A and B are shown apart, each in its own frame.
Chain A
Amino acid sequence: MNVMYFAWVRERIGIPQEAVETDAATVSDLVAELVAREDRYAAAFADISALRVALDQELSDFDAPLAGVREVAFFPPMTGG
């Protein structure tokens, strides 16, 4: 699946998006896999209560299943308007 990062999440991880091969069942499982990879992921996901997630461009939550999902995006709370 394609995993995207925005705002300070993107800056901490250092890339805007990447292809990730995973069998993670839920968003939280995917986060745990990423955090285990490298410190920069651990830094970005240190406090997931400060993050939001979208699955295939729809806001979702960290308990959501990933079956069939093609695009996951992580970002801080939005500051539009």
Chain B
Amino acid sequence: MAVRVQEGAFDAGAELNGFVQGRTDVGAVVSFTGIVRDTAGNLLEMQIEHYPGMTQSAIEKIVQEAQHRWDLSDALVIHRYGALKPGAPIMMVATAAAHRAAAFEAADFLMDYLKSRAPFWKKEVTGAGADWVAAKEADENALNRW
């Protein structure tokens, strides 16, 4: 398991290529990359605040729960904080398993929990001002799937 909380950019392709390099027991890798989206066409930047004392351990606990539920060969979570421009990668999740079902499901689980249980808060800065992104009820309800 690797969990990285960082301000700097990451190369999702390079991360994915290195993820299970050299292993021969892995039959499936699933990855998700979250990118700063400019919905209204006026986004200057996305500011991501986090709780430094809690973030790393909260994500590690979520990954441990995924490892408990599915037979994973490995898991990777990278999540950025700070001021990010539209089009920049925010975070990525990768899961590896012998078979695809576990890799798909664990990645989906990790995304649902990272969205609502990892201590990050997004603020959109546009030409018209700055607003905190409100949590969606659908995101909270998504946890009930698991």
Contacts and interface: CB of A to CB of B under 8 A. Distances in A.
A76 B132 contact: yes
**Interface of B (DSSP majority class):** mixed
A77 B111 CA distance: 16
A71 B53 contact: yes
Interface string A43-81: 000000000001001110000000000010101111111
Residue from A7, A8, A54, A59 whose CB has the most chain B CB atoms within 10 Å? A7
Interface residues of A, number: 17
B119 A6 contact: yes
A8 B132 CA distance: 7
Residue from A59, A77, A78 whose CB has the most chain B CB atoms within 10 Å? A78
Interface in B54-81: 54, 57-58, 79
Interface of A: 4, 6-8, 54, 57-59, 71, 73, 75-81
